[in-house]
Structure 1
Amino acid sequence: MAEEHYLELSENPVQFEHASSVNNVFFDEANKQVFAVRSGGATGVVVKGPDDKSSVAFRMDDKGEVKCIKFSIGNKILAVQRTSKSVDFINFIPDYPHTEFTQECKTRNASILGFCWTSWNEIVFITDQGVEFYQVFPDKRNLKLLKSQSINVNWYQYCPETAVILLSTTVQGNVLQPLAFKNGNVSKMSKFEIELPVIPKPAKLSLSERDVAMATIYGQLYVMYLKHHSRTANSPGAEVVLYHLPREGPCKKSHVLKLNTTGKFALNIVDNLVVVHHQSSQTSLIFDIRLKEPDCSVNTQQPVLPARSIHPYRIPLSGSAVVPSQPPVPCQLYSSSWSVFQPDIIISASEGYLWYLQVKLPPTVKLLQDKGKLMDFLLRRRDCKMVILSVCSQILEGSEKAELPVVATVFDKLNQVYKEYLEAEQSYAAAVESGPSRGAATQKRPVRTQAVIDQSDMYTHVLSSFSERKGVSHKFIIAVLMEYIRSLNQYQITVQACLLLSLEGTYPPAHQLSLDMLKRLSTANDEIVEVLLSKQQVLGALRFIRSVGAHDNVSARKFLDAARQTGDQMLFYTVFRSFQQRNQRLRGSPAFNPGEHCEEHVTHFKQLFGEQAMMKASTV
């Protein structure tokens, strides 16, 4: 079971002073910073971020209980909310006045629910009556109202990656209004309604903030709604309903993720996977919205893998009181004191830890038996290359050996991604060549992800070791090699047969197989000649160029250099004679032209075999 934990907490968590009666803990989702505020800041504020650069420590006057505290992007300006009417600001820019300044909300009788920084000097106040968008002037120590929007607000959520604020409106709270902020502008996106499991009568707030999350999945913004099991509706369990939120156009319900159970849940996004934590069973489920179930409607999905717990985690003890032999303390996973933040953060305020949730790919291989589906899943993950190559090796040998159609499916899935990358590279190169007028300036160079498994990867990590295995039939080896070549041809990828030639040492038939294949593919023959000559197979190279009809055009010097380097005098004699014959046939004389630069080889031949040998004809 231990090897089946496909989720784990990061090895080096961010540590901070745990929450207590004198220490309040806050988290800023935009900068991923934890604030430990002691005694309202009078005895110190310690800010810990994902790296040391974003960690800060300072003191501030205790002016009452802190409700919310966040730095602007880049730790330039600190904003602190202590009342429901105003927000205080402190400059952290060098050489700027350090004195606090305050901004009250403009809307009369409104209460500030919270605030969000959208840039280093732009901030949004969210009140129960709407939003107020300000620009902060740290040098003048004041703010300017850029835009305001009146709307009744129950609660809000913020997605820092897209600078979109989601407002819960209406009495029931299920009409959501997204607002996008950029460069001093605010734009209304399409509002939409969340379908509630039960409509309450009389109407009351029915959509809870903790059941909604915003996240970017595969580059698109989604609102995730945790729809709980309804006893009256006789539904089998809770669901996560995804609403796709485009920049323009209507918001649409796009996916329904079936949880098949009830209880308390929390959501994370890791490596474009939706992770659903279930507290009572202490397990998590993962969903990949790009994987379509063949037996389900397009938007209804079951978990990719069976439910498993996060890998057990032990908290290392530290401090002067630690006894060296004392073992680390097991961490209570799925604790009720855990707080989950988007996309992949879990915080235990009571223990003083912030972890990043991570996916472990090797355990998924055994849990996902369908190799085609497994490949689809792995190809979309960040660190997938070595796991994919190990799966390719597994399906070719040993107890996990698969049937040829399965091998073909795996090759096709890999080569489809490989082809897409090659086409993107070609498109980029063409755009660069055509100059900036054709839009090359806007086209970015394609990023080579780990999902691109090229021929070199396949030969180095899979095919070469596979062909070395004892007990594997030659028939199966040839079938696999031909299947890989078929797949490359299907996606119109030029086969690099020189790599196939490199298998010759471990599997001799690969040599002839690759040469035959090259003739059929009309691939550049120079590359093959280079490989053969580098392996001192000079006669093999000579036969190859004759077989493809290229003997009349090749460089005699290249072959004579290679023959001489072997130290085999008879080989040198044979190659020299072969080119003398060619010269005789083409030009009526066995002599080399000055442009062929073979003078030193002629001298060497005379030294070895004498002047008289120059005149004789010979055949290979």
Structure 2
Amino acid sequence: MSGHYLDLSANPLRFQPIGKSVNVFFDEANRQVFAVNSGNSDIAVTSWDTRKVAYIRVPETGPVLSIKFSLDKKVLAIQRSSQHVDFVNLGKSGDAAAYSQQCKGKTTEVRSFHWTNINEIIFVTTQGVEFYQVFPEKRSLKLLRSFSVSVNWFVFSPLKNVLLLSTSSAGNTICPFHFRPQQVTRMPKFEIDLPPLPKPSKADKNAAPAQPADKLRLLDRDVTLALLYGQLYVVVVRNQARSSGIGAEIVLYLLTKDVPAKRVAVLKLDMNGRFAVNTVDNLLIVHHQASKTSAVFDIRWAGDYDGAISLHHPVLAALPISPVTIPAQETKGEAPAATAAAVAAPTAAAAAAASVVPAAEAAAKSVSCELYSPNWVVFQPNIIIDARLGCMWEVELKLEVLVSMMADKKQLIDFLLLRSDSKIVILDVCKQSLVPGRQSSLSVIARVFDTLNAVYKEHLKLATARSSTRTDDRRLSISPQVNDISFSCVIDQHDMYKHVLSQVVDIKSIQYKFMVAVIIEYIRSLNSFQIAVQHFLYEVVIKLLVENNQFYQLHQFLQYHVLSDSKPLACLMLSLESVYAPAFQLALDMLKRLSTVNDDIVDVLLSKNQLIPALRFLRSNGREDSVPARLFLEAAANSGDNALFFTVYKFFEERNMRLRRKPGFSPADHCDQYVALFNSLFGDADTPKQQVNIPHLLE
């Protein structure tokens, strides 16, 4: 199995590579790549979602600095000047006439723009942020709000429409804004801690003291926004001085609406250099260019906690991404190599130099992609673009490989439960832990079951809470604690039975005692979380015990309620009477304890021709007046026991006398044939030749 737990998607998005006359721009919100040919009004748009290339023609009025579609793909915004942004309607009307919006202030420059809603856009300028509503039919814009802030740099997240503006001289004072339809919220500003300046070494005693200009600054390349477990974090890379011998770290600040963002976690990297960050399945993936490795962090992974900040180390040792090859595309001539800026910031337009595979050679071979290339540009959540190759990938996590790398089963299950599409992997881990050669101890298996069932129980509680809100006329809201719970994976009893227990129970190399202990441990775990155990789990235990003639242990399990009472279990025990005679009485006792199955007890007794015990049971429950006489008379007649028939007949005669003050049966009882049978056997006498004491039989 591969020793790489990260992959780049096998089917990358291919687009026209950057070149002398081609600039490439990436739209994060729509996940589209724009290839703009200078001197040509045609623009190639390649979309990750459709994997199709669309060509649009717009008026050529100068070099493109940035380009993005509106969220409904009907309006194209193009920045060609530092002073304004042009708009082109691309609807069915065919009206491609451009209209423009100037930013506020004569000396103000537009640094970037971002669509926040279908017809809403923000301009990030050197003097703050401007929030506009776009009216395509009127070919105009309306200013909704503006904020005056001196801007060093900015970071925008289309996932939550949150904008960060850096404002202080050191760049570490951050002003966050949250955009919603026709609304903008200015969130409390906060400061990001900077690492201390390195102290001069002994060899530099005569060096001049550090001046204010030498103060460390926070740069936009070290800051990103990441969505983890439904919450938005400011992710800050902090490199340390090499002379300090301390590795870099990543600091997470939790963004909240009403209070300044606070530092909540520190991720230790144990190396320095250039880093880039992706998020995959609520994990932070930290790429390190110098070592060409990537590390995985999970902020819900157990770490050191001091009451305010948690300290985390990588889940596993950092490893390279799996090698990648792509079919070489035909190209003509030579083109310069891309710089990161050409794609990283859509406001940059540039390029630098390298050769491209000649057309004849390209058709005959594949290209091995350089991993952690200087041409790589990383976008949230999991996008990597190489503009020189003309490739866009998604970073993917290989859970199957992680399984073989994590020895602690409990920690492995904790990790997998938080991942999407991990159910089959979890079930396979459980199955392998029962197979000889990879078998885990019963204590480890018990901890795994408890971990799975803790999540299972919370899932059931959440389902019940949601159901109650649908049925409650007052529409009671669920508590925030319940609402905020999100489970990537839940393993229920059916999953465990179908994919694990039923598949290993017949493996001869597994001792039946071990399997019985495992299933009993699973039942114990379910009971400890007050989850009703399904009958098929009991059936597996009984099947194992019967096949191995362990009837005494089965008897003990039932007697001491290790196997809980249920109608299906009682029926199963009844079917075992031929191989274990006490099974009938055990089943009957179980049915008696289940107060809701009285009719079943009567049916069972009748099927065994035990009419007198059935009548006793009905009398003890006060139900003898409601049972149909014909049912019992038919069973008694078929038994061939005249004394039994006489006793049952007289029982119902007495009941008729009590209820209707006469012993005869009414036509509605449909007992005429049994009255005739009684008269033929016993005549009109009150008792047969063999005296029968009815009260004694029914006591």
TM-score bucket (shorter structure): 0.7 to 0.9
Report the equivalent of 1:156.
154
Q: Which whole-Å CA distance do the structure 2 matches of 1:263 and 1:182 have between them?
A: 37
- Say whether 1:395 aligns with 2:433: yes
Q: 1:32 to 1:217 in 2, by over 3 A?
A: same
Hey, what's the Cα distance between the residues in 2 that align with 1:514 and 1:267?
A: 60
Distance 1:602 1:332, change over 3 A: farther
Alignment partner, residue 206 of structure 1? 217
Cα distance between partner residues in 2 of 1:514 and 1:25: 75
Structure 2 residue identity aligned to 1:142: S
* 1:33 CA displacement: 1.1
Structure 2 segments unaligned to the other structure (5+ residues): 198-209, 332-358, 649-696
Structure number with greater Rg is: 2
Distance 2:55 2:291 in 1: 39
Q: Partner of 1:520 in structure 2? A: 561
1:299 and 2:299 aligned: no
The Cα of 1:86 is off from its aligned counterpart by 0.4
Structure 1 residues 598, 258: CA separation in 2 closer, same or farther (over 3 Å shift)? farther
**1:63 is aligned to 2:61:** yes
Shift of 1:18: 1.1
The yes-or-no answer on 1:471 pairing with 2:501 is: no
Deviation at 1:155, TM superposition (A): 1.3
- The 1:595–1:136 alpha-carbon spacing in structure 2 relative to 1, beyond 3 Å, is same
Give the C-alpha shift of residue 532 in structure 1.
6.2
Tell me how far apart the structure 2 counterparts of residues 87 and 514 of structure 1 sit (CA, whole Å).
82
Q: 2:589 aligns with which of 547, 551, 558?
A: 547
Q: Give me the whole-angstrom Cα distance separating, in 2, the residues matched to 1:381 and 1:356.
A: 17
Bigger drift between 288-297 and 401-410 goes to 288-297
Say whether residues 1:144 and 2:189 are aligned partners: no
* Partner deviation per Cα, 1:16-60 (whole Å, 9 max, x = no partner): 111111221100111111111122551x21212222288632111
Q: 1:399: Cα distance to partner?
A: 2.5
* 2:521 corresponding residue in structure 1: 483
- 3-state SS in 2 of match to 1:422: helix
Cα gap change, 1:177/1:593 in structure 2, threshold over 3 Å: closer, same or farther? Answer: same
Relative distance call for 1:121 and 1:581 in structure 2 (3 A) is same
The 3 A distance-change label for structure 1 pair 6 and 169 is same
CA distance in 1, matches of 2:162, 2:559: 55
Contact kept in structure 2, 1:40 and 1:61, CA below 8 Å: no
Q: 1:594 to 1:192 in 2, by over 3 A?
A: closer
- Alignment partner of 1:35: what SS? strand
Q: Which moved more, 1:334-343 or 1:430-439?
A: 430-439
- Structure 2 Cα separation of the partners of residues 428 and 469 of structure 1: 41
Give 1:364's match in structure 2, choosing from 397, 402, 416. Answer: 402
Give matches, 1:89-488, under 5 Å.
89-95=87-93, 97-198=95-196, 201-203=211-213, 206-232=217-243, 234-293=244-303, 299-317=310-328, 326=364, 328-439=366-477, 449=487, 451-488=489-526
Structure 1 pair 549–558 and aligned structure 2 pair: CA distance change class (3 A): closer
Amino acid at match of 1:516: F
- The aligned amino acid for 1:575 is S
Give the drift of 1:440. Answer: 7.3
With over 3 angstroms needed to count, the CA separation of the structure-2 counterparts of 1:403 and 1:598, relative to structure 1, is farther
Q: 2:657 — aligned with what?
A: none
Q: Which amino acid aligns with 1:14?
A: L
> Which moved further from structure 2: 376-385 or 320-329?
320-329
User: 1:514, 1:245 → 2: CA distance?
Assistant: 60
Identity %: 40
What per-residue deviation string (whole Å, max 9, x for no partner) do you get for residues 143-193 of structure 1? Answer: 111111111111111111211101111222121111111122222112122
Q: Distance in 1 between matches of 2:402 and 2:116?
A: 38
Letter in 2 for 1:74: D
In terms of mean alpha carbon deviation, does 296-305 or 126-135 score higher? Answer: 296-305
**C-alpha displacement of 1:497:** 3.4
- Measured at CA, do residues 611 and 431 of structure 1 come closer, stay the same or move farther in structure 2, by a change above 3 Å? same
For each residue in 1:523-545, what CA deviation from the matched residue of structure 2 results, as whole angstroms up to 9, or x when unmatched?
56234346668999998985444
Letter in 2 for 1:214: L
| Higher deviation after alignment, 236-245 or 318-327 | 318-327
Deviations 1:429-474 (A, max 9, x none): 2222222442379999999955211112112222233332323334
Equivalent residue for 2:674?
Answer: none
SS in 2 for 1:479: helix
State whether residues 54 and 75 of structure 1, in contact with CA within 8 Å, keep that contact through their aligned partners in structure 2: no
Q: Identify the range of structure 1 (134-143 vs 94-103) with the bigger mean alpha-carbon deviation.
A: 94-103
Distance 1:197 1:442 in 2: 37
SS at match of 2:272: coil
Q: Contact 1:123–1:135 (CA<8 Å) still a contact in 2? A: yes
One-letter code aligned to 2:253: Y
8 Å CA contact 2:170–2:217 kept in 1: the answer is yes
Counterpart of 1:424, as a letter, is L
Q: Whole-Å Cα distance in 2 between the matches of residues 536 and 440 of structure 1?
A: 50
1:557·1:596 contact (CA, 8 Å) conserved in 2?
Answer: no
Cα distance in structure 2, aligned partners of 1:601 and 1:38: 97
Is contact 2:576–2:583 with CA below 8 Å preserved after alignment? no
Q: Does 1:15 align with 2:14?
A: yes
Cα distance in 2 between the residues matched to 1:96 and 1:47: 18
Equivalent pair of 1:223/1:242 in contact (CA under 8 Å): yes
1:311-331 Cα shifts (integer Å, max 9, x gaps): 122213467978999553322
Q: Which residue of 1 aligns with 2:533?
A: 495
Q: Deviations over 1:326-381 (max 9, x none)?
A: 55332221111111100100111111111111111111112122222211111110
Q: Partners of 2:591 and 2:617 in 1: how far apart?
A: 15
The answer to whether the Cα contact below 8 Å between 1:459 and 1:500 also exists between their aligned partners in 2 is no
Is 1:555–1:596's contact at 8 Å kept on the other side of the alignment? Answer: no
Quote the Cα distance in structure 2 between the aligned partners of 1:557 and 1:121: 72
Q: How many residues align?
A: 598
Q: Deviations over 1:463-486 (max 9, x none)?
A: 233332323334333332232222
Matching residue of 1:88 = 86
Q: Give the aligned residue type for 1:265.
A: F
1:598–1:528 CA distance, 2 compared to 1 (3 A): farther
State the partner residue of 1:24. Answer: 23
Q: Which residue of 2 aligns with 1:583?
A: 615
Cα contact 2:109–2:125 (8 A) shared by 1 = yes
Amino acid at match of 1:16: F
2:46 equivalent to 1:48: yes
3-state SS in 2 of match to 1:210:
helix
- TM-score norm. by structure 1 comes to 0.86
Aligned mates of 1:597, 1:361 — CA distance in 2: 65
Q: 1:115 to 1:501 in 2, by over 3 A?
A: same
TM-aligned CA distance change 1:399 to 1:535, over 3 Å: same
Q: Secondary structure at the match of 2:446?
A: helix
The residue that corresponds to 1:568 in the other structure is: none
Shift of 1:94: 2.5
- Backbone CA RMSD of aligned residues: 3.7
Summarize the Cα distance change of 1:550–1:237 in structure 2 as closer, same or farther, 3 Å threshold.
same
TM norm structure 2: 0.77
Q: Is the contact made by 1:237 and 1:260 (CA closer than 8 Å) also made in structure 2? A: yes
Q: Distance in 2 between matches of 1:579 and 1:322?
A: 93
